């Protein structure tokens, strides 16, 4: 019965994973009403293939181990062969020397570049060295790593059922990985470049969404940059695999074999230090060209003269109110998975006029701070159970001792939870706010305008980096001075980029506001000129043209043609208006230059 459950349950999970992901739509990005997709880049098929292949190979090992045990196979059997080296041992020695040479070359290259190899690479080499040395020595002494004895065949026992179940679970994980990587994309629209990744809990997330009407998400990652902010678009090959695969596809194209997209990393750098990085992209050069061409088209229509002309046309002659610019927020949320009911999404995005974002300390950090209280509660419960089981003390006395300790531990946990849940860091389109409230206590609130921000830094240690949280430090100027520190918030690098985006947008709105105020002042000046009859009016133009025409016609004997006269009057009137408009443009530009030199 147990063996059947160990196989049937993972098989059902595999089937449900397939059914839940096959019908899923390819991305669900919310676009603006006037926005359309120009181009999209996805993960290269080789990355998806090799990652799924690795999972499939591990699953195959579990299935092979179950089959091997079923036919009587065993491992690490001592003294069943003559002592000495055989052909297989010599092959292992050659493999050992090759790995030793590769490890030495990697270490020499890292020392030459003055940086250390990653910890996982060093540990992998050490494990391989130890395993190969043990295998060579063990086989030399007559032992064998693998041996089949038909008499001790295990059949479909519990351990084999567990191995098959583990293999099926890995197959389900491989299916989830395939669809998860397939849906990752870098999208270029007519307004922005954006990247979105969503990591959901398979199957359980769908059940949670049906019950609570919202999906359960491990991590949501949305990065976006408006086209006006883009400074650079770089394409890199950061590994030997990327480089040689690029060269291989380039070699195939020389012989007319086309249709294979190249492989690389795309990095989009913006004014606000936001860098969108999309690894393992398919067709990175094509995406780079599309983005740069679109940015060039946008910048061609956003020169200072064009902005000034458009503003005057819209607000002076068109009587239009300037549209409110909506900040492109980077939706990067960290949720607590199964504990989402206890810890709200972080950050919290509010769809209000100020486009408020609220951060709180990471749920991982809060849970770590609550760990002592949790262990105390568990220790009290275990001790109470042991004392009750062995009747060491009277029941009434046990309850009198245990209840206060349990209540105190629960109150301790609640105090820590409430303290950090009310520690809020708020960003709006005009200011930053640090709000701190103790349980049963007052609220401390500090605020600063975005114009006072001078620099935004983030700090994270080794453990914090592994758990994806850290501190963001905001340097502010002004007479008061002081720093704002957002402690223990998730994804500090993305928070830094988000604050920089708000600061850049605030400064743009300030420039737009100054430009509107200047135009409003000139409009009032124009109205006063009209009031005091200082404007070059159309009636006066007509009067001057009529006088000139009469003087001309008085010197000639023929009567002028009325149609020709109307055309002359219309052309002269249009030229006068255009001349006045050009003079106004020139005056506004001179006025703005004088203002900018005065501020400098």
Under the banding of pLDDT at 50, 70 and 90, the label for residue 158 is: confident
Cis peptide before 500 (omega within 30 of 0): no
Q: Please determine, for residue 388, whether its predicted confidence score (pLDDT) is greater than 70.
A: yes
Give me 272's structure tokens.
């606000």
Question: What is the mean pLDDT of the segment spanning 297-314?
Answer: 68
Q: Considering the domain 338-505, what is its CATH architecture?
A: Roll (2.30)
Within 113-201, where are the H helices? 119-140, 158-183
Number of neighbours of residue 220 by Cβ within 10 angstroms:
17
The predicted-structure confidence for 126-142, as pLDDT tens digits, reads as follows 888 888 888 888 888 88
* Most confident range, picked from 15-24, 185-194, 214-223, 333-342: 185-194
- Give SS3 for 349: strand
Question: What is the mean pLDDT of the segment spanning 491-517?
Answer: 80
Q: Pick the more confident residue, 400 or 314.
A: 400
CA distance 267 to 246: 17
With beta carbons less than 8 A apart as the criterion, state whether 169 and 275 touch.
no
* Most confident range, picked from 45-54, 117-126, 301-310, 538-547: 45-54
List C-alpha distances in Å: 247 to 235, 251, 264, 281, 442.
Answer: 15, 6, 11, 15, 64
Phi, psi of 340 (to 5 degrees): -60, -25
With beta carbons less than 8 A apart as the criterion, state whether 329 and 355 touch.
yes
CA distance 148 to 68: 8
List C-alpha distances in Å: 574 to 520, 567, 571, 577.
Answer: 25, 11, 5, 5
Q: Pick the more confident residue, 591 or 496.
A: 496
Q: Please determine, for residue 163, whether its predicted confidence score (pLDDT) is greater than 50.
A: yes
Residue 320's pLDDT is 56
CA distance 512 to 542: 38
In percent, the amount of the chain with pLDDT more than 70 equals: 70
Number of neighbours of residue 514 by Cβ within 10 angstroms:
14
Rounded to the nearest 5 degrees, what angle is found at the Cα of 153, between the Cα atoms of 149 and 157? 150
**Average pLDDT of every residue of the chain:** 77
Under the banding of pLDDT at 50, 70 and 90, the label for residue 26 is: very low
Q: Pick the more confident residue, 17 or 344.
A: 344
Rounded to the nearest 5 degrees, what angle is found at the Cα of 375, between the Cα atoms of 371 and 379? 175
Phi, psi of 583 (to 5 degrees): -65, -35
Question: What is the mean pLDDT of the segment spanning 484-490?
Answer: 88
Q: Please determine, for residue 89, whether its predicted confidence score (pLDDT) is greater than 50.
A: yes
Give the per-residue SS3 of 569-591.
HHHHHHHHHHHHHHHHHHHHHHH
Residue 355's pLDDT is 86
* Most confident range, picked from 56-60, 112-116, 399-403: 56-60
Question: What is the mean pLDDT of the segment spanning 103-118?
Answer: 76
Residue 557's pLDDT is 47
The predicted-structure confidence for 348-367, as pLDDT tens digits, reads as follows 888 888 889 999 998 889 98
Q: Pick the more confident residue, 311 or 37.
A: 37
Q: Please determine, for residue 485, whether its predicted confidence score (pLDDT) is greater than 50.
A: yes
Q: Please determine, for residue 118, whether its predicted confidence score (pLDDT) is greater than 50.
A: yes
Least confident of 67-76, 190-199, 322-331, 439-448: 322-331
Q: Where are the beta strands (DSSP E) in 172-216?
A: 185-189, 192-200
The predicted-structure confidence for 258-282, as pLDDT tens digits, reads as follows 656 677 889 988 776 667 888 888 8
Q: Please determine, for residue 595, whether its predicted confidence score (pLDDT) is greater than 90.
A: no
Q: Pick the more confident residue, 462 or 412.
A: 412
Least confident of 182-186, 203-207, 394-398: 203-207
Residue 600's pLDDT is 45
Residue 184's pLDDT is 84
Residue 551's pLDDT is 62
Tokens 């270029």, residue located: 188
265-304 burial string, b = 16+ CB within 10 Å, else e? bbbbbbbbebebebbbbbbbeebbebbeebbeeeeeeeee
Q: Please determine, for residue 318, whether its predicted confidence score (pLDDT) is greater than 60.
A: no
Residue 274's pLDDT is 64
List C-alpha distances in Å: 205 to 23, 183, 337.
Answer: 15, 17, 9
CA distance 334 to 345: 6
Q: Please determine, for residue 203, whether its predicted confidence score (pLDDT) is greater than 80.
A: no
Question: What is the mean pLDDT of the segment spanning 558-586?
Answer: 65
399's CB contacts (< 8 A; 6+ apart) are none
């Amino acid at each position: 019965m147990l063996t059947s459950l160990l196989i049937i349950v993972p098989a059902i999970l595999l089937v449900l994973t397939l059914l839940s992901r096959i019908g899923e739509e390819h991305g669900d990005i919310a676009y603006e009403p006037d926005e359309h997709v120009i181009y999209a880049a996805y993960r290269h098929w080789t990355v998806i293939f090799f990652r799924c292949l690795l999972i499939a190979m591990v699953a195959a090992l579990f299935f092979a181990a179950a089959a091997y045990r079923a036919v009587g196979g065993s491992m690490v059997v001592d003294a069943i062969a003559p002592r000495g080296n055989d052909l297989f041992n010599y092959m292992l020695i050659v493999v050992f020397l090759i790995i030793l040479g590769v490890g030495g070359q990697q270490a020499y290259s890292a020392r030459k570049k003055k940086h250390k190899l990653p910890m996982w690479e060093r540990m992998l080499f050490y494990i391989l060295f130890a395993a190969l040395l043990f295998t060579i020595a063990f086989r030399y002494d007559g032992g064998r790593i693998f041996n089949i004895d038909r008499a001790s065949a295990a059949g479909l026992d519990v351990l084999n059922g567990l191995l098959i179940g583990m293999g099926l679970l890995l197959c389900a994980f491989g299916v989830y990985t395939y669809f998860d990587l397939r849906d990752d994309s870098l999208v270029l629209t007519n307004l922005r470049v954006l990247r979105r990744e969503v990591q959901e809990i398979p199957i359980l997330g769908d059940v949670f969404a049906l019950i609570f009407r919202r999906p359960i998400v491990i991590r949501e990652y949305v990065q976006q940059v408006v086209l006006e902010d883009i400074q650079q678009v770089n394409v890199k090959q950061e590994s030997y695999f990327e480089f040689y695969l690029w060269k291989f596809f380039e070699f195939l194209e020389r012989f007319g074999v086309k249709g294979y997209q190249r492989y690389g990393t795309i990095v989009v750098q913006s004014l606000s230090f936001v860098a969108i990085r999309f690894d393992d992209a398919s067709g990175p050069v094509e995406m780079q060209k599309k983005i740069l061409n679109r940015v060039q088209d946008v910048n061609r229509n956003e020169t200072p003269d064009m902005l000034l002309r458009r503003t005057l046309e819209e607000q002076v002659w068109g009587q239009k109110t300037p549209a409110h610019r909506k900040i492109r927020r980077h939706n990067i949320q960290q949720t607590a998975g199964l504990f989402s009911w206890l810890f709200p999404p972080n950050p919290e995005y509010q769809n209000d006029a100020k486009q408020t974002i609220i951060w709180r300390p990471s749920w991982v950090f809060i849970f770590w701070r609550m760990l002592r209280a949790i262990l105390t509660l568990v220790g009290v419960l275990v001790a109470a159970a042991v004392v009750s089981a062995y009747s060491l003390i009277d029941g009434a006395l046990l309850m009198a001792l245990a209840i206060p300790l349990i209540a105190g531990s629960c109150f301790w946990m609640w105090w820590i939870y409430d303290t950090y849940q009310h520690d809020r860091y708020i960003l709006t389109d005009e200011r930053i706010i640090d709000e701190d409230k103790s349980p049963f206590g007052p609220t401390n609130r500090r605020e600063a305008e975005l114009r006072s921000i001078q620099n935004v830094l983030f700090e994270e240690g080794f453990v914090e980096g592994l758990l994806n949280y850290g501190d963001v430090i905001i340097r502010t100027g002004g007479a008061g001075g002081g720093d704002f520190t957002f402690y223990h918030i998730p994804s500090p690098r993305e928070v830094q980029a988000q604050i920089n985006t708000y600061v850049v947008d605030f400064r743009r709105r300030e420039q737009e506001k100054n430009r509107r105020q200047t135009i409003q002042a000139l409009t009032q000046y124009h109205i006063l000129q009209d009031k005091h009859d200082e404007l070059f009016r159309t009636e006066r133009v007509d009067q001057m043209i009529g006088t000139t025409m009469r003087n001309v016609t008085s010197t000639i004997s023929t009567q002028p043609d009325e149609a020709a006269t109307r055309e002359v009057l219309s052309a002269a009137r249009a030229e006068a208006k255009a001349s006045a408009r050009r003079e106004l443009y020139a005056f506004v530009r001179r006025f703005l230059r004088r203002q900018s030199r005065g501020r400098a």
